[in-house]
Amino acid sequence: MKLYIACDMEGTAGNVTWDEVNQEKSEYAQFREIMTKEVIGICEIAKTKFDDICIKDGHWTETNILLENLPDYCNIIRGDDGRNLTGLDSSFDALILEGYHAAGGEITYPLSHTISDDIVFEIRLNGKRIGEKTLALLNAAKYNIPIIFISGDEKAVEEALSCLPDLVGVITKKLSNTSYICKSPQKVNGEIKKALTQALSNFEEIKEKLIYRPSKFDLEIEYAKYFYAKKAANYPNSILEGKTVKFKAKDLDEFLHIINLCI
């Protein structure tokens, strides 16, 4: 059994500022360690079911997870090649999302964004704001891969559960005014181990319910700058309205194609 673990940093325990997730800042070292421990905690539970575990470091330069601490039964995909969930294909049996965060457009959340806040303000699918969680679910759906588990801030978990109500999630932090109330990393690690153990216990029975399959793909991308919108509106049959471009994708493949091409 083969598992893909997609990791991000803004939704791991404790961090609340961009400096804490930026490799060029001194604060970063602590949060890189916290992220690594969170990922290792997931691996320790996941290895009871999966004999092949592939970790995808998905934050910024995609070189955050500390390698010397990784268990020997894991592989890791590192480095930003501009693709979403590099290496994910139909050979995988399941996906886990770690450290996910509020979507672009959730303006009260300090670390909210979708892919790049320089380019995208907000993405909407069928009228609903979506972020990197839903994009990950849809990338997995392309290969019929179910999602076992998500950890991240409250908005990340809420968004994933709104797509897949049977999904198990652990919330690392909640909004309080415009900052976060964070659980301690130790508490988060304990909760992840417990929740993931529970999720694995009935995964086989419910896995068909853990694949997100929207019935249509009406996509709107509201860009951060008019320049990007105007460029994206070259896509066939799209409609430009201010900084927003409306696309009508005929199916999942076209939806993912537009996301890759137009962001």
Binding site for Zn ion (CB under 5 A): 8-10, 59
- Do 12 and 172 meet the contact criterion of CB atoms below 8 Å apart? yes
14 vs 146, which CB is nearer to Zn ion?
14
9 vs 96, which CB is nearer to Zn ion?
9
> Please, what is the minimum distance in Å from the beta carbon of residue 114 to Zn ion?
11
> Please, what is the minimum distance in Å from the beta carbon of residue 84 to Zn ion?
12
> Please, what is the minimum distance in Å from the beta carbon of residue 152 to Zn ion?
11
61 vs 234, which CB is nearer to Zn ion?
61
57 vs 222, which CB is nearer to Zn ion?
57
The distance from CA 33 to its chain's CA centroid, rounded to whole angstroms, is 19
- Do 197 and 170 meet the contact criterion of CB atoms below 8 Å apart? no
3-class DSSP state for residue 131?
coil
> Please, what is the minimum distance in Å from the beta carbon of residue 186 to Zn ion?
22
